[in-house]
Amino acid sequence: MSLPESASFPIESQSRSRSREITEESRRYGLRDGACQAVTQGSGEQYLSAFALLLHASPFQLSLLSALPQLIGTGAQVASVKLLRRFPDRRALIRAGTIAQALAWIPIVLLPLLFPEFGPWLVILGAALYFACTQFTTPTWNSFIADHLDQHERGAYFAQRAKIMAGLSFVALCAAGMLLSLWQQHPLAWIGFALIFTAAGGARWLSALAVTRVQDIRHPAQHHVRQSFRSFLGTTGRSFRRFLLFSGLMHAAVLIAGPFFVVYMLRDLHWSYLVYGAWLAAGILGQLVTLGAWGRFGDRFGNKALLAVTGFMVPFLPMLYLVSANLGFLLVVNFLGGVTWGGLALGLQNYVFDAVRPEDRAKAVATSSTLNAMGWCLGALVGSRLVDTLPATIETAALSLRLTSNLPLVFFISGVLRLLVSAGLLRTFHEARSVERAAPHELLRELPLLKPLTQLLAGSLSRACK
């Protein structure tokens, strides 16, 4: 006997209510996972290069530390997408990869101390293992959590998650920097690194516990897709392929400078770990105060607009290192760098979600990450070559420039190449969803920091006129 039609309404209402509860709970635990991940990044990942430098790593080894783990990680991403076809429990895959990340900190700490003559190389191998585990979870995690979000609220959610991560990463950075500074002049300076890396591994273990509470939402179509990555790229539009080219080349231009800031700060400017941590924290603070605004900007005007604005801001940041080596100035520069990179990273991530079908998100994230890692590796190796060949002094008839080292010139070249990538490719792809259109000058008025400042000035002028 069937139920009367009216009797189905309470059942449907209860089902919708239960679905909303699951979605809200999953979002909350997604934020908690991000909080734990932030502690790992702030107390662990951010200081890997400093640890390698303590072990007397060369510029080439530092470039490999930045490039090789990312390149190996792309293989892990591809493997995770292929495994997802045969093992559709996304939550179990994410949990396994997260636990492996936590355990990877053990060889990073122990092996270089047991075999110090191979210390830098062992840090590189340990970092490669760690980032392979990290990248293994990335495509699955992104498709997993994005299924709980409407397309017009992704920017706000990921901005909220990134804001939480920025705040906790800021705290972890400062605490780790203070701890390292206590041991910096001690013969056993490695103890400080052992402590902060242990904290990083413990935080990642807590992430695995948080992930177990996030419910999976299954797309039946995704478990029957047997499309290769090459075929997948062939089915995507020209606009998405141009976006991938922009993202990969931007990563290449950025990584020409990226691995060598730690060398410039600790070796050339002779900063303490505490001051270096403050410089890193300034960038995190820049993200913290603007990520919410960037998320709203992307949701309202689209991620292409977000990329266009930040893509023309980020080239000028490394050029400023030619201007001065003053601590206060460089703190401000890195704060602005955090502001800009927060928006650019958010736009790069969310554009991928917008441009493909839900069942293709894991593959799209893996494809994007693979191309980014190839650019990452290329840029880091080119940067190490420039470090070995560029002079620290420029003498011409019209200009005489003597620098602390040649690294500010490397940073300047990185900025020029970023500008060329943005100027050449941003116009070649378009917004992937329907959004509010605005003229360039209107977009500028909506920028984080600039919008509240102009509102404050307008209010002050209005009160003064009265």
**Helices (H), strands (E): how many in the chain?**
18, 2
For the segment 284-339, what is each residue's pLDDT rounded down to a tens digit? 888 888 888 888 888 888 889 899 999 999 999 999 999 889 999 999 999 999 99
Taking the C-alpha atoms of residue 275 and residue 114, their distance in angstroms, rounded to an integer, is 29
Q: Give the pLDDT band of residue 122 (cuts 50, 70, 90).
A: very high
From CA 97, how far away is CA 205, in angstroms rounded? Answer: 11
Any residues with CB less than 8 A from the CB of 44 and at least 6 apart, and which?
Answer: 105, 196, 197, 199, 200, 201
Give CA–CA dist 209/44, Å, rounded: 19
User: What is the token pair recorded at 257?
Assistant: 């400078």
8-12, 245-249, 417-421: the lowest-pLDDT one: 8-12
Domains and CATH numbers, the chain: 19-214+231-433+442-451 (1.20.1250.20)
Look up residue 265 and give its two tokens.
């700060």
pLDDT tens for 439-460 read 777 777 777 766 655 554 445 4
Give 362-378 pLDDT, tens digit per residue.
778 778 888 888 898 89
